[in-house]
Amino acid sequence: MGQKIHPIGYRLGISKDWKSRWYADKSSYADKTFEDLKIRKYLSDKLSQAGLKVVEIERTENEMNIYIKVSKPGLVIGRGGAGVEVLEKELKTITGSKIKITAEEIKTPEIESQLVAEYICRQLKRRMPYRRVAVFASNAAIDKGAKGIKIRLSGVLSGSNTISRSEEFVLGSIPLQTLRADIDYAQVDCHLLFGTIGIKVWIYKGEVAL
């Protein structure tokens, strides 16, 4: 058995940054971590139509900055910034800190692993053939500038009454052992009528200067 490690956790502090950036002592650390989890769960449910990639949280003594990266920022901001105000008001029920939300646009969603995995999940729910969907997503990523992409689908891929298995689709190079390689990784559970299909996506975007 090969020993596996999370591609992003492997690079934290080297070529990747943390998604939560704050310090807390032992007495409040667990509460703040649980708050972060609830905020991320709320935003991922609320902004599922906006193409949410990641939620980054920064805290100071009594203020919280939330950076949301989405492919459709108009759905988050709303008319005249009304959407952001509604989100801030609803998030205040989760935390007592002062909240400021900043929405950032993702220019090329085709090379963001989280959005690619969610796209594949949506297509599988529409009963599209998984091979066609995976190949289309791979070609779209390469066309938009990715150096390599790997997609792994696991589960009852051919529908009910079939044996569970895994299939991989690789295009380009994926240097997982190289720390300076910018690897974007995402894992999504796609819940279908006949079972759950696991979707993993690795996208290689080139090397970063360390």
Structure tokens at 63: 């203020």
Mean pLDDT of the chain: 89
CA distance 3 to 18: 23
For residue 102, which of 63, 71, 76 has the smallest C-alpha distance? 76
The tens digit of pLDDT for each residue in 113-140 reads 999 999 999 999 999 999 999 999 999 9
76: pLDDT strictly greater than 90: no
The tens digit of pLDDT for each residue in 125-181 reads 999 999 999 999 999 999 999 999 999 999 999 887 889 999 999 999 999 888 999
Superfamily of structural domain 16-105: K homology (KH) domain (3.30.300.20)
Domain residues of the chain, as ranges?
Answer: 16-105, 109-207
Mean pLDDT across the stretch 77-94? 81
The reported pLDDT for the residue numbered 97 is: 81
C-alpha distance from residue 42 to each of 47, 70, 130, 195 (Å): 9, 15, 29, 25
CATH topology of domain 109-207: Ribosomal protein S3 C-terminal domain (3.30.1140)
Mean pLDDT across the stretch 25-52? 89
For residue 122, which of 109, 108, 106, 107 has the smallest C-alpha distance? 109
CA distance 123 to 132: 10
